[in-house]
Amino acid sequence: MEEKQSPFQAAIKPGLTIGLVSLALTFIAYFINSTLLGSAWFGLVAIVLFFVLMIYFGKQYRDELGGFMSFGTAFNFSFIAIVISGLVGLAGQIILFQVIDPSLAGVLADQAFETQMSMMEKFGQDPDAMDPAVLEEMRAGNANSFTLTGQLKNFGFGLIVYAIIALILGAILKKRDKSLDY
């Protein structure tokens, strides 16, 4: 009889795979046009691809377990895979923003600031009426998120988001053996 993998062991390969796919997508977008990295549609495509891959790998693991998986096992598998994927992505982004193209951070920070300004205008806020110090603080906050410290901080805060996503995926992937209810 085959020994079943723990959620941690089973999540390593999918986490690495999803992280590398995410990284490849990021570098492809960078080489096509670096401003794509700041576009909403790129983020949407990345999120959809991420969820599709997580569900695919989760169902594979559930099948390996005999077709049934508890919520706790599904959550553990998902969270570990997401964290591993996030670490791979973080390493790639640090290389991209700190080594390959340090000026890219400024371009994306400016793009994010312009997006914030247009959103404010859509909601009726006139950016020209705002205190220049507040606008400069917003611009600096965007720029700081691309520094090494900012990237590490964002990953730390991202762990909370990863846990929420893993809860959702755990609910999707769990499957109870109803024959044991009697």
The two tokens of residue 33 are: 């046009």
pTM summary value: 0.85
Domain limits of the chain?
7-174
Amino acid at 171: A
If you write DSSP's letter for every residue of the chain in order, what string do you get? -PPPPPHHHHHHHHHHHHHHHHHHHHHHHHHH-GGGGG-HHHHHHHHHHHHHHHHHHHHHHHHHTTS-B-HHHHHHHHHHHHHHHHHHHHHHHHIIIIII-TTHHHHHHHHHHHHHHHHHHHTT--GGGS-HHHHHHHHHHHHHTTSHHHHHHHHHHHHHHHHHHHHHHHHHH-B--GGGG-
Q: Is pLDDT at 1 greater than 80 in this prediction?
A: no
Q: Is pLDDT at 2 greater than 60 in this prediction?
A: no
The percentage of residues in the chain with a pLDDT greater than 70, rounded to a whole number, is: 96
pLDDT tens, residue by residue, 44-93? 999 999 999 999 999 999 999 988 999 999 999 999 999 999 999 999 99
| Lowest model confidence (mean pLDDT) among 45-49, 95-99, 131-135 | 131-135
pLDDT category at 133 given cuts 50, 70, 90 is: confident
